[in-house]
């Protein structure tokens, strides 16, 4: 009987040798390993994607994603919006020595393998083993260009931090998938457009722009060799940080190119001797130009197509005019620098040069700031936007995000409301000191600039010379409510309180809205919305979004034209004459603005095509310089900017009177209509009226104001001639000789010019009244029954006897004290002895109290 051991170990009674059992075990393990290897190789090489391990590579367009390209109105690219700095170019556009440099050191057998170079991988294994065992060699990688591309395209599936067999197998699997899907040239093109080359640059085009400041198509052999060596260690070999290391790597690439037969030894030697000249500052001017503008485009894109524009490779056709943008940036910068240098008076604030880089978290800066907006008046397309002095130092956009007092730049809304309520440009309003009693027996006393008052003046003269007292009286006459509603209709969305000070621009507005509101004055009464994008196209050229600007009629075209005729006087002979002094001679209209204590200065103007606005001030309102005004500081910028813009485009024709406008010859200053029975006794000009002009009895013995001296420039009420009186206008940045002459005439040092010959009376057919025009109030006399007293016989109201507004006008409720920030009020129940006039505390003339005088220019 066999024992148990014999029975279960060997049927023949003898156990197998121990060595044979081990051999069988090893053979079984080897066969199993071989089976797994073959199966894995077959899966990697041949298995369909339905068996897993594939990547979504069928849409090649997604691998070209470099963000959205921005194009100006001429179709020229000026920037990109992307999460990384990448610019895609075709392989055909690149010089051959760039591709050869990359192939020579990264994958010399690229066109001979199928994505995995077994020969190179075996050599890398031997070299790495020798380095680890101390037998010579160095640690090398066996990754091909296709495998590197797989890592760059799918970092989520092939994490850089993972070092495991699974990751390597997946890398090979995706590399094989790429080889089956794309040609070799396409794989090389994708690689050259996606490989990281240091300094935040992805792809050879972005790297060439960063390091050499030119396109990749212009690379020399030496420069191409330098870029070709960067993929090995882009951060370490960055030539801006490690110039010697980058040059050493470049020379290695040149040797490898000669060894591979791409270039000759002589060519390699010549390239090694060629110095590398990097672009100064590594700047990217096209992407940095107009960054405030680009930010507004980015916000509009996010609204229209969402965040996918970062990677969708869209073509965004914007409204940017490169000439306008460059002019706005440069003219604003030069003027602000001149102000800080003391050219316009003593400047006592921190300068840009001294405090750059010290902006607050909110973006506010301590140095002088400014903004410029230029728009197409017909459709609201923004041609240029400068939201501040330095985008890199402050991202706060003062054109769109800030709220500032417009000062006298708000006055056109008051005068437009008056014109629409049948006050003609010759309507007389009293320019005398005004005193308004508010609730709680408080008193507001707005003053003219320089305390100069001219008695009865026409609406045209009051707006042209920015008369504060006359404007306040006009606002009381027509009501501040209609002026506010007009501003609302034209696009002002900020809160505007119904207080008397609103007529002088005390309410805060957004600068871009103020500029856009003036567009209706230029385009015949249509409100337009500012926008920055014309249309958006995908890669195939299909339009996926297109702007459809809305034009909504909000003004009577006749009223818009008459107001424009007055605002043209502002530029030609009023507070905006610095526009002409700056050299712009085309048709232009506009209004200056200066707030209390000279903290904000403005000029908003327009041509028949463009509307633009300039603002200058401190982020935290402070006096810029003593005597600063919109006429001296802001208007010259507008004039020089428009002069540059119209050097590259034809000058438009002046505005033409629409239906509903009647023109007549009138006397300058008095506004009296000239006829055979009422001949002119002074200079005349052509006035425009909405409908029939007022005709009354011809006054006799009329006296003419001193400013009625022909059609020469009038005195500039917004310029304090007492400031820097020893300086010439040229030293203050204004080249306009006629202003010196007019100031001399006003002081009586030279004789006034003789009156000009009367212009012929223009008598177009009487138009039909606009359908939407409010009929005249019942108590208003008809034009044929108006009696016009002589100017010297007009009873001017005293400060205590201001005529209350007519019953049909909107009278603002008595404001509370907080409704009038910065405006002094006094209780005046006590009377001055013997006068009956209220006892008013004399205003403080110190600089600290200047903002409390209620003065607007």
- Catalytic positions are 106, 408
Nearest to 409 by CA among 182, 580, 613, 109: 613
Question: 443 vs 650, 827, 835, CA distance in Å?
Answer: 52, 7, 18
Nearest-angstrom CA–CA distance, 785 and 672: 15
What are the two backbone dihedrals, phi and then psi, of residue 337, each rounded to the nearest 5 degrees?
A: -65, -40
Nearest to 471 by CA among 518, 434, 509: 434
Partners of 113 in beta bridges: none
Nearest-angstrom CA–CA distance, 667 and 708: 8
- What are the structure tokens assigned to 576, written together? 């905006």
Q: Is 84 left (phi over 0), alpha (psi -120 to 50) or beta?
A: beta
Q: Is 459 left (phi over 0), alpha (psi -120 to 50) or beta?
A: alpha
Length of the chain in residues, anyone?
857
| Residue indicated by tokens 């051999």 | 23
* Residue 843 near residue 851 (C-beta atoms within 8 A): no
Nearest-angstrom CA–CA distance, 116 and 114: 6
**Rounded to 5°, angle at Cα 555 from 552 and 561:** 120
* Residue 145 near residue 191 (C-beta atoms within 8 A): yes
Helix (H) or strand (E) holding 543: strand 543-546
Tell me 625's DSSP state.
S
- What are the structure tokens assigned to 287, written together? 């992407």
Helix 96-106 vs helix 184-194: angle between axes, to the nearest 10 degrees?
90
| Residue indicated by tokens 């020089």 | 640
Nearest-angstrom CA–CA distance, 81 and 70: 8
Q: Where are the beta strands (DSSP E) in 47-105?
A: 68-71, 77-81, 85-86
Partners of 21 in beta bridges: none
Helix (H) or strand (E) holding 437: strand 436-437
What are the two backbone dihedrals, phi and then psi, of residue 192, each rounded to the nearest 5 degrees?
A: -65, -25
* Residue 492 near residue 581 (C-beta atoms within 8 A): no
Give exposure, 470-483, as e/b (b: 16+ Cβ within 10 Å). bbbbbbbbbbbbbb
List of residues 6+ apart from 790 with CB closer than 8 A = 699, 700, 701, 702, 703
In SS3 terms, 372-420 reads as EEEEECCCCEEEEEECCCCCCCCCCCCCCCCCECCHHHHHHHHHHHHHH
Give burial (CB, 10 Å; 0-12/13-18/19+) of 750.
exposed
Nearest-angstrom CA–CA distance, 629 and 339: 12
Nearest-angstrom CA–CA distance, 831 and 843: 17
β-pairing verdict for 315-318 and 533-537:
antiparallel
β-pairing verdict for 786-787 and 696-697:
parallel
């Amino acid at each position: 009987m066999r024992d148990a051991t014999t029975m279960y170990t060997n049927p023949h009674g003898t156990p197998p040798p121990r060595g044979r059992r081990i051999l069988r075990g090893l053979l079984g393990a080897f066969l199993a390993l071989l089976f797994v290897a073959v199966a894995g190789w077959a899966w990697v090489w041949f298995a369909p994607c339905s068996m897993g391990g594939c990547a979504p590579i069928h849409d090649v367009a997604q691998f070209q994603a470099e963000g959205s390209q921005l194009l100006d109105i001429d179709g020229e690219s000026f920037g990109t919006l992307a999460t990384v700095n990448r610019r895609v170019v075709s392989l055909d556009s690149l010089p051959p020595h760039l591709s050869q440099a990359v192939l020579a050191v990264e994958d010399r057998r690229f066109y001979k393998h199928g994505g995995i170079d077994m020969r190179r991988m075996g050599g890398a294994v031997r070299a790495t083993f020798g380095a680890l065992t101390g037998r010579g060699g160095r640690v090398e990688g066996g990754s091909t260009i296709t495998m590197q591309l797989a890592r760059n395209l799918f970092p989520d599936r092939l994490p850089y931090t993972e070092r495991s067999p699974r990751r390597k197998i997946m890398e090979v699997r995706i590399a094989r998938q790429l080889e089956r899907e794309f040609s070799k040239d396409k794989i090389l093109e994708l690689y050259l457009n996606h490989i990281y080359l240091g300094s935040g640059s992805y792809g050879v085009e972005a790297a060439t722009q960063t390091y050499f400041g030119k396109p990749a198509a212009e690379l020399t052999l030496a420069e191409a060799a330098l870029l070709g060596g960067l993929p090995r260690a882009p951060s370490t070999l960055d030539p801006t940080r490690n110039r010697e290391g980058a040059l050493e790597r470049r020379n290695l690439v040149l040797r490898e190119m000669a060894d591979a037969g791409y270039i000759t030894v002589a060519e390699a030697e010549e390239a090694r001797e060629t110095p590398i000249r990097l672009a100064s500052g590594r700047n990217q001017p096209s992407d940095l130009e107009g960054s405030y503008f680009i930010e507004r485009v980015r916000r509009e894109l996010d609204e229209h197509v969402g965040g996918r524009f970062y990677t969708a490779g869209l073509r965004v056709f914007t409204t940017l005019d490169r000439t306008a943008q460059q002019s706005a940036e440069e003219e604003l910068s030069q003027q602000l620098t001149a102000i800080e240098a003391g050219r316009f008076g003593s400047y006592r604030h921190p300068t840009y040069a001294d405090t750059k880089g010290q902006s607050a978290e909110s973006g506010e800066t301590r140095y002088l700031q400014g903004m410029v907006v230029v728009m197409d008046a017909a459709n609201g397309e923004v041609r240029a936007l400068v939201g501040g002095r330095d985008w890199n130092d402050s991202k706060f956009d003062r054109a769109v995000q800030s709220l500032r007092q417009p000062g006298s730049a708000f006055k056109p809304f008051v005068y437009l409301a008056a014109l629409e309520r049948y006050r003609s440009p010759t309507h007389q309003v009293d320019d005398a000191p005004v005193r308004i009693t508010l609730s709680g027996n408080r008193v507001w006393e707005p003053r003219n600039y320089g305390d100069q008052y001219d008695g009865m003046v026409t609406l045209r003269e009051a707006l042209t010379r920015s008369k504060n007292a006359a404007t306040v009286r006009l606002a009381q006459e027509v009501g501040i409510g209609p002026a506010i509603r007009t501003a609302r209709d034209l696009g002002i969305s900020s809160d505007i309180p119904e207080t008397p000070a609103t007529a002088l621009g005390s309410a805060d507005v957004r600068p871009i809205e103020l500029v856009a509101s003036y567009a209706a004055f230029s385009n015949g009464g249509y409100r337009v919305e500012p926008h920055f994008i014309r249309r958006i196209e995908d890669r195939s050229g299909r339009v996926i979004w297109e702007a459809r600007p809305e034009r909504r009629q909000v003004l009577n075209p006749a009223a818009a034209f008459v107001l424009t005729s007055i605002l043209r006087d502002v530029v030609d002979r009023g507070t905006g004459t610095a526009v002409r002094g700056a050299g712009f001679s085309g048709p232009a209209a506009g209004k200056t603005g200066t707030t209390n204590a000279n903290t904000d200065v403005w000029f908003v103007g327009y041509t028949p095509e463009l509307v633009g606005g300039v603002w200058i001030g401190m982020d935290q309102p402070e006096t810029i310089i003593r005597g600063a005004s919109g006429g001296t500081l802001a208007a010259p910028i507008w004039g020089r900017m428009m002069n540059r813009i119209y050097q590259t485009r034809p000058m438009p024709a002046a505005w033409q009177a629409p239906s509903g406008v009647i023109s007549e010859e009138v006397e300058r200053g008095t506004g009296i209509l000239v006829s055979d029975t009422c001949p002119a006794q002074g200079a005349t000009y052509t006035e425009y009226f909405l409908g029939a002009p007022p005709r009354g009895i011809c006054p006799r013995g009329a006296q003419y104001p001193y400013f009625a001296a022909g059609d020469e420039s009038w005195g500039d009420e917004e310029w304090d001639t007492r400031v820097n009186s020893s300086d010439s206008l040229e030293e203050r940045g204004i080249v306009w000789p006629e202003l010196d002459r007019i100031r001399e005439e006003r002081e009586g040092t030279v004789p006034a010019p003789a009156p000009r010959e009367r212009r012929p009376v223009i008598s177009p057919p009487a138009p039909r009244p606009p359908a939407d025009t409010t009929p005249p109030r019942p108590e208003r006399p008809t034009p044929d029954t108006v009696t016009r007293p002589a100017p010297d016989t007009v009873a001017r109201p005293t400060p205590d006897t201001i005529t209350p507004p007519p019953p049909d006008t909107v009278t603002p409720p008595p404001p509370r004290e907080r409704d009038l920030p910065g405006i002094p009020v006094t209780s005046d129940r006590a009377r001055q002895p013997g006068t009956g006039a209220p006892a008013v505390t004399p205003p403080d003339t110190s600089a600290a109290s200047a903002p409390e005088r209620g003065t607007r220019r």
